[in-house]
Amino acid sequence: MRYDLRNFSSPFRLERKASARALLAVRADMYRPELYAKSRCNEASGGIRYGYCCARYIPRGENVPDDEEGSYDFGLGAGFYVDATQAPWDKHYKMYSYIVNELPALIESEFPVTKERAISGHSMGGHGALVIGMRNPNKFVSVSAFSPISNPSDCPWGEKALGRYLGDDKAAWQDYDASLLLASKTHSVPLLVEQGTKDEFLHEQLKPQSLVHAAQQSDTQLTLNMHEGYDHSYFFIASFIEEHLEFHAGHMGLI
> What pLDDT digit, counting tens, does each position of 121-178 carry?
999 999 999 999 999 999 999 999 999 999 999 999 999 999 999 999 999 999 999 9
Q: Are 248 and 21 in contact (CB under 8 A)?
A: no
Residue with the bigger pLDDT between 102 and 15: it is 102
* Positions marked active-site: 123, 199, 232
How many Cα atoms occupy the beta-carbon half-sphere of 25 within 13 Å?
38
Q: pLDDT-based confidence at 46, cuts 50/70/90?
A: low
The pLDDT value given to residue 147? 96
- Alpha-carbon distance of 81 to 197, in angstroms, equals 25
Domain around 67: 5-251
DSSP codes joined into one string, 164-230: HHH-S-GGGGGGG-HHHHHHTT-----EEEEEETT-TTIIIII-THHHHHHHHHHT---EEEEETT-
Q: At residue 1, does pLDDT exceed 70?
A: no
Q: Are 205 and 241 in contact (CB under 8 A)?
A: no
Q: How many domains does the chain divide into? A: 1
Q: pLDDT-based confidence at 29, cuts 50/70/90?
A: very low
Q: Are 50 and 253 in contact (CB under 8 A)?
A: no
Residue 236 DSSP code: H
Residue with the bigger pLDDT between 60 and 82: it is 82
- First vs last C-alpha separation in the chain: 35
Highest-pLDDT range among 100-109, 131-140, 244-253? 131-140
Q: Which pTM was predicted?
A: 0.87
- Alpha-carbon distance of 233 to 237, in angstroms, equals 7
Q: At residue 35, does pLDDT exceed 80?
A: no
The pLDDT value given to residue 47? 57
> What pLDDT digit, counting tens, does each position of 68-79 carry?
999 999 999 999
Q: At residue 25, does pLDDT exceed 60?
A: no
Residue with the bigger pLDDT between 190 and 116: it is 190
Q: At residue 44, does pLDDT exceed 70?
A: no
CATH number of the domain to which 72 belongs: 3.40.50.1820
The pLDDT value given to residue 42? 53
- Average pLDDT value over all residues in the chain: 83
The pLDDT value given to residue 116? 83
- Alpha-carbon distance of 249 to 255, in angstroms, equals 6
> What pLDDT digit, counting tens, does each position of 197-223 carry?
999 999 999 999 999 999 999 999 999
